[in-house]
């Protein structure tokens, strides 16, 4: 069971993978700070467990992110981990993707991560501890059609973390990229989810893996730096 102290900040907590991670870690006894923009969903989550503290936060907004980190520290004293699940996808050929869609994908997949990292790092450096788990995608590692922009930003985010890992490993901060394959969440159009759900991961599978990675990454001697989690039947055709 659970934890000594501090809170685990889970971004993208209102849906899909983030929501499943909130359930799982709260069940394990971790103190969880769950953030997203959809406040009614956060309120529902907070009602489920005394271990869940919900805070609205648009992770693409610098002031909102800084304010959330401040409140978390004020309430819990230390930031035990950041589990970053914010993200958005547009699955389209590059030629049909608008600049507005590119900018939105950048904000959701790269800018939000950058801001959350800047918000938690000073406290983690002071503490000489902290785990950062980034929900990356197999699209960061492999080229899929209709995923050029999404895959490029996922790769950028994962690589930003690889470089940061080298900056902070001697400070006792553990950084993990979890590259996840197709998972049945609202990121996918309902028709695609209906068609392929039999061969997709479930959000609970990813949450269980996050929980195991958090346990491992908190050990002082080892670091599970990168893990690929694919459905048994492989990527969707």
Q: Which residues are catalytic?
A: 150
> 């980190």: which residue's tokens?
69
Q: According to CB under 6 A, which one of 66, 88, 156, 211 is a site residue for ligand NAP? A: 88
- Tell me, residue by residue from 6 to 35, as one string, x for binding to ligand NAP by CB under 6 A and - for no binding: ------xxxxxxx-----------------
Rounded to the nearest whole angstrom, what is the least distance from the CB of residue 137 to ligand NAP in the complex?
4
Q: Is residue 50 exposed (0-12), middle (13-18) or buried (19+ Cβ within 10 Å)?
A: exposed
DSSP 138: G
186 binds ligand NAP (CB under 6 A): yes
82 binds ligand NAP (CB under 6 A): no
Q: How far is 81 from 173, CA to CA, in rounded Å?
A: 9
89 binds ligand NAP (CB under 6 A): yes
| Cα angle, residue 180 at apex, residues 9 and 220 outer, rounded to 5° | 55
- Of 123 and 139, CB closest to ligand NAP: 139
Beta strands in the chain (DSSP E): 7-11, 32-36, 52-56, 79-84, 130-137, 173-180, 226-229
152 binds ligand NAP (CB under 6 A): no
Residues at the interface with ligand NAP (CB under 6 A): 12-18, 36-38, 58-60, 85-89, 108, 112, 135, 137, 180, 182-183, 185-187
């Amino acid at each position: 069971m659970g934890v000594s102290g501090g809170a685990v900040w889970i971004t993208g907590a209102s849906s899909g993978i983030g929501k499943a991670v909130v359930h799982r870690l709260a069940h394990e006894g971790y103190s969880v700070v769950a953030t997203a923009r959809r406040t009614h969903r956060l309120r529902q989550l907070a009602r489920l467990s005394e271990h869940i503290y919900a805070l609205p936060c648009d992770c693409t907004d610098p002031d909102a992110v800084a304010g959330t980190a401040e409140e978390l520290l004020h309430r819990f004293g230390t930031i035990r981990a950041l589990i970053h699940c914010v993200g958005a996808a547009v699955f389209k050929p590059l030629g049909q993707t608008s600049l507005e869609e590119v900018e939105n994908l950048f904000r959701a997949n790269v800018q939000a991560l950058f801001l959350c990292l800047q918000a938690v790092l000073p406290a983690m450096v002071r503490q000489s501890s902290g785990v950062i788990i980034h929900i990356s995608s197999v699209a960061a590692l492999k080229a899929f059609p209709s995923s050029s922009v999404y895959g490029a930003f996922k790769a950028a985010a994962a690589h930003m973390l690889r470089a940061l890992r080298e900056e902070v490993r001697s400070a006792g901060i553990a950084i993990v990229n979890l590259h996840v394959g197709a998972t049945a969440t609202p990121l996918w159009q309902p028709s695609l989810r209906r068609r392929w759900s039999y061969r997709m991961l479930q959000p609970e599978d990813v949450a269980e893996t996050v929980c195991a990675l958090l346990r491992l990454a908190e050990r002082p001697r080892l670091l599970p730096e990168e893990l690929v989690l694919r459905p048994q039947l492989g990527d969707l055709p």
